[in-house]
Amino acid sequence: MHSNRLLFQLFESPIARVRAKAPNGAVRRAKRVFDVAGAAAALLVLAVPMGAIAVAVKLSSPGPVLYRQRRIGLRGREFQFLKFRSMVVGDHHDVHREYVQALIAGDVAACDQGDAEEQVAELKMADDARVTRVGRFLRRYSLDELPQFWNVLRGDMSLVGPRPPLPYEV
């Protein structure tokens, strides 16, 4: 009998139970192939809309089109997380940092009005004045996240898995 299977009987019918184990090299390579193929296909299909978004971001407010943020990846490795910029340039992230720290401390009331449970799940602030008009649209439809396909292609993150946290969220 194979070491990963355990056979047992239920009402005189043999039942196989498979034990979970850590993915081996072949599984990790297959996942990477899936990530590269999926990200490349998405970037190819979304090239024109992403170009239009880049123009809209650039025309809406001064500053770079892409927002780069330090994130923590697999095994604690830092990388530059890419998003379309949805906020005005120059505002510090102290407001968000304090917001997340209040959530971690369990002080949901000190964070924001609105649906507290939804905000805890999203870790986003309601009605953030730093968000541009174009940025609100991008965020509503998650279009600001499209450049992350580059992160997937580079191997910084995966199509499937947890969102890489900010350094102060770890």
Q: Closest by alpha carbon to 165, among 31, 70, 42?
A: 70
Q: Mind listing the pLDDT tens digit of every residue in the chain (170 residues)?
A: 444 555 555 566 666 666 666 678 898 899 999 999 999 999 999 999 999 999 999 999 999 999 999 999 988 899 999 999 999 987 666 666 777 777 777 776 665 545 544 444 455 666 778 899 999 999 999 999 999 999 999 999 999 988 899 898 88
Q: Closest by alpha carbon to 160, among 20, 50, 28, 48?
A: 28
> How far, in Å, are 71, 120, 127, 145, 156 from residue 148 at the CA level?
12, 23, 24, 6, 9
Supply the pLDDT for residue 2: 47
Supply the pLDDT for residue 123: 56
Type of residue numbered 18: V
Supply the pLDDT for residue 119: 47
Supply the pLDDT for residue 137: 97
Supply the pLDDT for residue 104: 75
Supply the pLDDT for residue 40: 98
Supply the pLDDT for residue 103: 74
In the chain, where are the structural domains located?
Answer: 47-91+130-169
Q: What is the pTM of this model?
A: 0.69
Type of residue numbered 83: K
Mode of pairing for the β-strands spanning 13-18 and 66-72: unpaired
Question: Which string of DSSP letters, residue by residue, matches 108-130?
Answer: GGGT-SS-HHHHHHHT--TT-TT
Supply the pLDDT for residue 23: 72
Q: What's the rounded Cα separation, in Å, for the pair 121 and 137?
A: 20
Supply the pLDDT for residue 134: 97
